[in-house]
Structure 1
Amino acid sequence: MRDLDLTTLRLFVAVCELRSIARAGEQSSIVGSAISKRLSALEETVGVKLLIRRRHGVAPTPAGETLLEHARAMLASADRIRRDMLSYASGVKGQVRVLATVSVLAEKLPEDLAVFLQDPDYRNIQIDIEERLSVDVVRGIKEGVASVGICWDVADFQGLLTRPYRTDRLAIVMHPDHPLAGFKALPFEATLDYEQVSISSASAVQVMLKRQASLAGKQLIERVFVSNLNAVLRVVLAKLAISVLPIEVAQAYANVQALRVIPLTDEWASRRFALCFRSEEALTPAARLLVDHLGSFSVAESDSPAVAHPAHG
């Protein structure tokens, strides 16, 4: 069978919907005889009769009904291709909603987004960011609340596709008068006799810390919960507790306030963040460009390509 012609399929759909070759010709600015010739050639191509000619018009045969369904799908796909290509030609437009954890937002994401948005080709793209816990990031992407999520890659991604993003390392932040302040690096187990402050007991970091404390035969002493990273650091500065934070987040504040930032030696303390999304097909052109842009930072850090893959769970 020869390749199907999209123009002929479009005319076939119009004839089936209007039940008239003449009206389809008027709508498409093509004479009826030219449409009839195309439809006859189409029937010859597929090898079956597609239309029944009636006194007051035409109607699709059962085979015609089947082709009509396929033709609509093919034309819709062709229109999507045309729109996507036009968006690249004229500068991509659209809004991308992103869900991200507090650690991601506190580190390099704002700068990475700024680089993306400063590209003249993307001047018509808007990005809407919302802070959530890792579990809520995954849930939001699965439920279609947002196009792209970013969180620690230990999360249960529930079948979502992921790409690696950036990495960071966790450290203990403490007042310089703290008994552990003299160490250059510490295992997490060495901190478990001291009270800690965190943002949320349900965060991926706190869940991990509780698990590691349990494996060490101890219990995490959570003295204070606060609403943001700045409050965490102020609690530490007040000598009320110590805290586990990314080095990249804590260091700038520590340099100003003379806090001690001591890297954790545990293997799990080296973290990788992941971009997650429902599928490549579900991403709009704008979202796809953003995912490719953010994924490139993983390539820069690791010198290995970032390939989408089914994730944990």
Structure 2
Amino acid sequence: MHFDLIDLKLFLRVLESGNITAGAAQSHLSLASASARIRGLESSLGIPLLDRGRRGVTPTSAGKALAQHARLILQQVERMQVDLTDYAQGFKGQIRLLCNTSALSEYLPELLAEFLVSHPNIDINLEEHPSLRILHAVRHGTADIGIISDAVDASDLQTQPFRPDPLTLIAPLDHPLAHHDNLRFTQSLDYEFVGLGIASAMAIYLEEQALHAGRRLKIRVRAESYDGVMRMVVGGAGLGIVPQAAINRFQDSTRFKSLPLSDPWADRELLLCAPDFNALPSYAQALVKALSLPTALLDTSTSSPDN
């Protein structure tokens, strides 16, 4: 059996992207070179690793087994590099962290800045995705750590509390719904909204909730941040839905009405997730420790009657 780390990385990237062309591009290889490497793996093993179709490739049973071993091998190599950091000049640990919109905008900037200052040999590849896509990436080893909403099923992964993240509807002070103290999401769907960018994890999440209710959100305009949503709501452009944490830090929060949503999916918690926290490289375990919910907040969260 003959293969190298480039072959293993290429194979995993092909599986992640679903086609050899994209996997080759991500590996900085020509399509011909990447195809030859995949064929070489199959020839060396004597079995097909990919089922090739018009819409791309999918792993055979042997391909799935190889992918599992490849991830373990690459993780072990990365651990070896970390252990030899003192001897390998210039090596820097890389952590791929995927998170949803709330985590990215409300919680991570200060936490990650503090961590990076105290860990100068670590870089973090941070990306925003919906929780379901994060789960897929973590399960398949294409992300080290994820931050997801507890609304998705992560029972096959290990999880730890990150932060409570209840969602709140906000309305202009003169809006017809402003006299309510709280309301259900469906009560707001007859009115126009200020939304986030169409590709943001939060926008996708709210669209899904509306579809589950058999409705569609009426998006009048989209903003690029929660601050932008709140400023437009203050100006009367429509309703918005933002994390309570965003409202807490917004200086003009008295200029709109905050209406807690009574839907169970809106009273959510964000979770850290990984296949096995103890199997992460030591520097990734250090990041998990830095991001985990502080004990004082954890005690408050678990003792709250609302949870």
Query: Which bracket does the TM-score occupy, shorter chain normalised?
Result: 0.5 to 0.7
CA distance in 1, matches of 2:178, 2:257: 6
TM-score relative to the length of structure 2:
0.58
Change in CA separation of 1:129 and 1:227 when aligned onto 2, cut-off 3 Å: same
Q: CA deviation at 1:254?
A: 5.6
| Runs (5+) with no aligned partner, structure 1 | 1-76, 307-313
> Is the 2:159–2:274 Cα contact (8 Å) retained in structure 1?
yes
2:148 corresponding residue in structure 1? 151
TM-fit CA distance, 1:172? 0.8
Q: What CA distance in whole angstroms lies between the structure 1 residues aligned with 2:300 and 2:279?
A: 25
Q: Is the 8 A contact 1:254 1:261 kept in 2?
A: no
Distance 2:148 2:240 in 1: 20
Give the TM-score, by structure 1 length. 0.57
Mapping of residues 70-149 of structure 1, within 5 Å: 84=83, 94-119=93-118, 122-149=119-146
SS in 1 for 2:151: coil
Structure 1 residue 127, shift from structure 2 partner: 2.5
Supply the AA of the counterpart residue of 2:112.
L
Whether contact under 8 Å (1:93, 1:286) holds in the other structure is no
Q: How far apart are the structure 2 equivalents of 1:247 and 1:264?
A: 11
Q: Which residue of 2 aligns with 1:177?
A: 174
- Counterpart of 1:249 in structure 2 is 246
1:203-242 pair list within 5 angstroms: 205=202, 209=206, 213=210, 220-242=217-239
How far, CA to CA, are the matches of 1:102 and 1:118 in structure 2? 23
In terms of mean alpha carbon deviation, does 227-236 or 204-213 score higher? 204-213
CA 1:82 to 1:197, structure 2 compared with 1: closer, same or farther past 3 Å?
A: closer
Report how many aligned residue pairs link the two structures.
Answer: 222
Hey, what's the Cα distance between the residues in 2 that align with 1:254 and 1:176?
Answer: 16
- What amino acid is the match of 2:126? I
**Cα distance, 1:135 vs structure 2:** 2.7
Q: 1:189 to 1:85 in 2, by over 3 A?
A: same
Identity %: 35
RMSD (CA atoms) = 3.8
SS of 1:96 mapped into structure 2: strand
Q: Which amino acid aligns with 1:239?
A: G
Tell me how far apart the structure 2 counterparts of residues 243 and 100 of structure 1 sit (CA, whole Å). 21
Unaligned residue ranges in structure 2 (runs of 5+): 1-75, 303-307
2:32 is aligned to: none
Shift of 1:237: 3.4
User: Deviation digits for residues 197-236 of structure 1, max 9, x if unmatched?
Assistant: 3225676655665565567676543444444334433442
Instruction: Report the counterpart of residue 266 of structure 1 in structure 2.
Output: 263
CA distance in 2 between counterparts of 1:304 and 1:247 reads 17
Larger radius of gyration: 1
Distance (Å, rounded) in 2 between the aligned partners of 1:212 and 1:172: 14
Q: For residue 290 of structure 1, report the CA deviation from its aligned partner.
A: 0.9
